[in-house]
Amino acid sequence: MNRLDYVVLVATILAIPLYGLWRTRGRETLGHYIKGDESIRWATIGLSVLATQAGPITFLSMPGQAYESGIGFVQNYFGQPFALITVCAVFVPIFQRLKVYTAYEYLGQRFDQKTRLLGAFLFLIQRGLAAGITIYAPAIILSALLGWRLNLTIWLAGGLVVAYTAFGGTKIVSITQRYQILIIFVGMALAFIIAVHRLPAGLSFGRALTVAGGMGKLQAVDFSLDPDRRYTFWSGIFGGFFLALSYFGADQSQVQRYLAGGSLTASRFGLLFNAVVKVPMQFLILLLGAMVFLFYQFEKPPIYFNRPAYDRAIALGHGAELNELQAEFDDVFARKRDLLSSSGVNSASRQEILQLDAKARELRDRAKAVLERAGASPKSKDSDYVFITFVLQHLPHGVVGLLIAVILCATMSATAATLNALGSTSAVDFYRPLIRPNAPDHHYVVATELLTIAWGLVAIGVASYASLVENLIETGNILGSIFYGSILGLFLVAFFLRSVRGSAVFFAALLAQCLVLILFWTLSISYLWYNLIGCAAVLVFSLALQRTIFAKSSPA
């Protein structure tokens, strides 16, 4: 990075929050602080919902995911449109009609105070920890590759977002997210155009797609019913639906986004916007990864993209072993490149190209094994370093600064939404009913600001100790899957099981959460299943408890 990159980076990440602060100046009521005002339109809500979900991992990991495994990962999002429409039809009208500040407030109205506190508590634990991971994941990658100090990077990403989120509440989060996601779109579009432009002369975009497809990277849809296949249309529709319904329906960081402004129409249009835009957006990000893959078929890639970890292993005495693998990898690369340049992927050359590609992957795996033996094993997958390495080494100055800004904008937008929700939930669901029930409105605004700052410090604290976590990116998803199921179960019981009352659902959720935790520690199934198990357990246990132990409290 040179001076131009730093100017672009600093200007981008500072200008948006400063503009947001200017737009939200002045004293606010609690309602405005938590839900924004009527100036928040559907487009802002739509972009805000999009930005909240599209955290830094999306832009760092997704292209790397396509580089490794192709674009089939897009199918994981196929359930989302159905989930968003379900949220539009079922969740939003109820939340808007009751004019709740948080989703858990609704649980209090439908059931009782303890169920509301349980839902809010599960959310706070899960999101409080996940916020730290959201800050740490890009910080560890950027600090490794740019040579920045890790704590400085964590404070750069975390400190700024804590300050403006606490000051401006939901309105500033929505405004800044709108511009942050626009910067992200521009940055990713530029990266896409440059990646295509940097392909060898004579390789048109159409032919590039044919080559990438021939190498197995462009299978976007797979209707296979084989349960061993990782990403299929069916697993995306069913598994993705359930995960997305938990996230959009029961996670306050999303609920607060689409309730902003207080208009049912704006909330629904914002969510429907996501229903039609989200999947193509993920497709294009993955396609960018496929283009980066193609670029590295003609430009020699490193055997291991996480260069600092590779250099550590060399310093620890594993240089000879790694040099040997590197030489073999270079030879495989040269043979593959010559084949692709001379004949492309046709029926005669395809088998040999695929074999060489498999050999290159095997060599990368062996290099990783050497790093692990050397004790230089990194905290995230090597594929997470693919896109950022491409950016740093092959994009022009200025654009590099913009792409680093994209990563930090994504970090700030996702973190801001989370802190905003954590502060609001702590204030509305805990502080106001339990500690100061009848204080003036301004008192709660200040309390929410202070609680937002406190959660920001917790997130930065978690980020500072996140190096203890083995696999960063998985950790965020695992945390969500452990807690989302029970929280969604609470809401589904509230909406659809009219006979169930507060005590039954409260103890059902506690039992379900214990069950999920026990299964998590004892089984080795995919973590996505815990969403389903937790939710189903709440539904079944609550019905069983209502008809047995709590039968006397059933409605007449």
Closest to another protein by CB, 174 or 267: 267
CA separation for the pair 65, 60 (Å, rounded): 9
Residue 306 exposure: Cα atoms within 13 Å on the Cβ side: 25
CA separation for the pair 177, 255 (Å, rounded): 15
Supply the DSSP symbol for 468: G
Q: Copy the structure tokens of residue 247.
A: 């996230």
Rounded to a whole number of angstroms, the minimum distance from the CB of residue 548 to another protein is 24
Q: Which of 1, 4, 21, 94 binds another protein (CB under 8 A)?
A: 94
Closest to another protein by CB, 92 or 141: 92
Considering only residues 180-209, where is the footprint of another protein by CB under 8 A? 209
CA separation for the pair 493, 517 (Å, rounded): 21
CA separation for the pair 106, 495 (Å, rounded): 11
Q: Which of 78, 304, 431, 507 binds another protein (CB under 8 A)?
A: 78
Rounded to a whole number of angstroms, the minimum distance from the CB of residue 184 to another protein is 21
Considering only residues 283-302, where is the footprint of another protein by CB under 8 A? 283
Closest to another protein by CB, 93 or 375: 93
Q: Which of 31, 200, 213, 398 binds another protein (CB under 8 A)?
A: 213
Rounded to a whole number of angstroms, the minimum distance from the CB of residue 110 to another protein is 4
Considering only residues 396-415, where is the footprint of another protein by CB under 8 A? none
- Counting residues that bind another protein (by CB under 8 A) gives 45
Give me the DSSP letters along 149-175. Answer: -HHHHHHHHHHHHHHHHHHHHHHHHHH
Considering only residues 216-235, where is the footprint of another protein by CB under 8 A? 216, 218-222, 233
Q: Which of 279, 292, 395, 406 binds another protein (CB under 8 A)?
A: 279
Closest to another protein by CB, 90 or 528: 90
Residue 277 exposure: Cα atoms within 13 Å on the Cβ side: 17
Rounded to a whole number of angstroms, the minimum distance from the CB of residue 219 to another protein is 5
Rounded to a whole number of angstroms, the minimum distance from the CB of residue 283 to another protein is 7
Q: Print the binding letters for residues 483-522 with another protein: x by CB under 8 A, - otherwise.
A: -----------xx--x------------------------
Q: Which stretch binds another protein (CB under 8 A): 210-218, 316-324, 485-493, 528-536?
A: 210-218
Contact 483, 123 (CB under 8 A): yes
Rounded to a whole number of angstroms, the minimum distance from the CB of residue 216 to another protein is 7
Rounded to a whole number of angstroms, the minimum distance from the CB of residue 212 to another protein is 7
Q: Which of 268, 318, 368, 379 binds another protein (CB under 8 A)?
A: 268
Rounded to a whole number of angstroms, the minimum distance from the CB of residue 375 to another protein is 41
Closest to another protein by CB, 222 or 449: 222
In single-letter form, the type of residue at position 259 comes to L
In terms of DSSP H, where are the helices of 375-398? Answer: 386-394
**Is residue 85 within the footprint of another protein (CB under 8 A)?**
yes
Look at phi and psi of residue 40 and say left if phi exceeds 0, alpha if psi is from -120 to 50, else beta. beta
Considering only residues 426-455, where is the footprint of another protein by CB under 8 A? none
Look at phi and psi of residue 148 and say left if phi exceeds 0, alpha if psi is from -120 to 50, else beta. beta
Q: Copy the structure tokens of residue 484.
A: 């989302």
Rounded to a whole number of angstroms, the minimum distance from the CB of residue 78 to another protein is 7
**Which of these, 269, 169, 286, lies nearest to 218 by C-alpha position?**
286
- How far separated are the first and last CA of the chain, in Å rounded? 70
CA separation for the pair 272, 69 (Å, rounded): 30
Q: Print the binding letters for residues 98-137 with another protein: x by CB under 8 A, - otherwise.
A: xx------x--xx---------------------------
Q: Which stretch binds another protein (CB under 8 A): 92-100, 159-167, 193-201, 373-381?
A: 92-100
CA dihedral (100, 106, 110, 113) positive or negative: negative
Q: Which stretch binds another protein (CB under 8 A): 1-9, 19-27, 212-220, 392-400?
A: 212-220
Q: Which residues contact 66 (CB under 8 A, 6 or more apart)?
A: 73, 217, 285, 286, 287, 288, 289, 290, 292, 293
Q: Which stretch binds another protein (CB under 8 A): 178-186, 246-254, 267-275, 542-550?
A: 267-275
CA separation for the pair 138, 207 (Å, rounded): 34
Contact 476, 137 (CB under 8 A): yes
State how far the alpha carbon of 236 is from the alpha carbons of 70, 86, 223, in Å.
Answer: 15, 16, 10
CA separation for the pair 311, 174 (Å, rounded): 42
**Which of these, 305, 252, 244, lies nearest to 67 by C-alpha position?**
305
Q: Which of 7, 25, 93, 189 binds another protein (CB under 8 A)?
A: 93
**Is residue 81 within the footprint of another protein (CB under 8 A)?**
yes
Q: Which residues contact 351 (CB under 8 A, 6 or more apart)?
A: none
Q: Which stretch binds another protein (CB under 8 A): 14-22, 258-266, 445-453, 526-534?
A: 258-266
Q: Print the binding letters for residues 237-256 with another protein: x by CB under 8 A, - otherwise.
A: --------------------
Q: Copy the structure tokens of residue 81.
A: 């449109």
The helix (H) or strand (E) run that includes residue 120 is: helix 113-146
Q: Which stretch binds another protein (CB under 8 A): 89-97, 157-165, 183-191, 470-478?
A: 89-97
Burial per residue of 301-317, b for 16 or more beta-carbon CB atoms within 10 angstroms, e otherwise: bbbbbbeebbebbbeee
Q: Which stretch binds another protein (CB under 8 A): 181-189, 259-267, 323-331, 358-366?
A: 259-267
**Is residue 264 within the footprint of another protein (CB under 8 A)?**
yes
CA separation for the pair 279, 287 (Å, rounded): 12
Which residues sit at the interface with another protein, rule CB under 8 A? 74, 78, 81-82, 85, 88-90, 92-99, 106, 109-110, 209-210, 212-214, 216, 218-222, 233, 262-265, 268, 272, 275-276, 279-280, 283, 494-495, 498
